Amino acid sequence: MAEIVYPPVIRSALLFFRVLDLKINIEGAERIPKTGGAVLVSNHVSYLDFIFAGLAAWPSRRLVRFMAKEEVFANPVAGPLMRGMHHIPVDRSAGAGAFGAAVRALKDGEIVGNFAEATISRSFTIKDIKSGPIRMATDAGVPMIPVAVWGPHRLWTKGRPRKLLQRHVPITILVGEPMHPEPGQPIGDLTTELRRRMSELLDRAQRTYPEIPPGVWWQPAHLGGTAPTPEEAAALDSPRRARPAKPSPDEVS
């Protein structure tokens, strides 16, 4: 397919990152195959993760087709860019269509990006993950590559003000060893193993991150930061929390 939009977008982003003097460190990029399909499975700590996770494949000159919720494609600014870069829209009420499109792309030799946690992790730890990327890789007969990104959440994440022009922020991108799921392997076992590998990568990214002041909001609680614990994050994300409280009898009367 014609690539009119994607490469210029990446080059523009890299130029912008150089202007901001972001310290981008990519390790394990050689694990991204130079040809053929693969599922790139990233953790999710910010609204910018697709940019930085996608950079993991740039040294191999591969372009990652990310699966993203359909609302993004409806945005008047982001939508044309997403379509021009051939990303894959996901209608969460009818996920089979996106799944089929992803498998077709993989069989055509594309790299498909997926955030297996589905939503941003407020605790900055790996949440429970979905089995979708495993089933896609199995159906298409391609490897699955875990990736950890760390640092983009300091620029823009859930529940915090945007700081897109913040300078000198280190960004860590770690690429793990590929997994090769086979038909007949228990999905539960593969999901557990994928989550374990993602957690190990993220933990290494967090522990080796440069310049960590004590008690910062962007560091997970178990490493001394003030981010919500996984339990607190789950409570914040609970649908019940979004519901308005029932009025008291006095308010009704």
Tell whether 50 is covered by a domain. Answer: yes
Q: How far is residue 47's CA from residue 161's CA, in Å, rounded to a whole number?
A: 12
The residue-averaged pLDDT of 11-32 equals 98
What value does the mean pLDDT of the chain take?
Answer: 93
How big is the chain, counted in residues? 253
Any domain includes 18? no
Residue that the structure tokens 């760390």 belong to: 150
Pairwise CA distance, residues 3 & 75, whole Å: 21
Task: Please tell me the predicted confidence (pLDDT) of residue 96.
Answer: 83
Within 8 A by CB and 6+ apart from 61, the residues are 34
**What does DSSP say about strands 170-175 and 144-150: parallel, antiparallel, or unpaired?**
antiparallel
Domain membership flag for residue 12 = no
Residue 49 in any domain: the answer is yes
Average pLDDT value for residue range 193-207: 98
Q: Which domain holds residue 50?
A: 23-252
Which pLDDT band, with edges at 50, 70 and 90, does 8 fall under? very high
Residue 240 sits in a domain whose CATH number is 3.40.1130.10
> Do the domain assignments include residue 5?
no
**Mean local confidence (pLDDT), 12-31:** 98
Distance CA 135, CA 78 (A): 28
pLDDT tier at 116, thresholds 50, 70, 90? very high
**Is residue 249 over pLDDT 90?**
no
Residue 118: both structure tokens together = 């589905």
pLDDT at 250 over 90: no
Give me the percent of the chain exceeding a pLDDT of 90. 89
**How confident is the model over 213-242, as pLDDT tens digits?**
999 999 999 999 999 999 999 999 987 654
Please indicate, yes or no, if residue 228 is contained in any of the structural domains: yes
- The CA-based diameter of the chain, rounded to the nearest angstrom, is 69
pLDDT in tens, 153-174: 999 999 999 999 999 999 999 9
Q: State pLDDT tens for residues 40-73.
A: 999 999 999 999 999 999 999 999 999 998 999 9
Name the domain count of the chain.
1
- How do residues 75-102 score in pLDDT, each as one tens digit? 998 999 999 999 999 987 776 889 999 9
Residue burial 161-182, b: 16+ Cβ < 10 Å; e: rest: eeeeeeeebebbbbbbebbebe
Query: Does residue 82 lie within any of the structural domains?
Result: yes
Residue 1, in any domain of the structure: no
Beta bridge partners, 146, equal 41
Per-residue H/E/C for the chain: CCCCCHHHHHHHHHHHHHHCCCEEEEECHHHCCCCCCEEEEECCCCCCHHHHHHHCCHHHCCCEEEEEEHHHHHCCCHHHHHHHCCCEEECCCCHHHHHHHHHHHHHCCCEEEEECCCCCCCCCCCCCCCCHHHHHHHHHCCCEEEEEEECHHHCCCCCCCCCCCCCCCEEEEEECCCECCCCCCCHHHHHHHHHHHHHHHHHHHHHCCCCCCCCCCCCCHHHCCCCCCHHHHHHHHCHHHHCCCCCCHHHHC
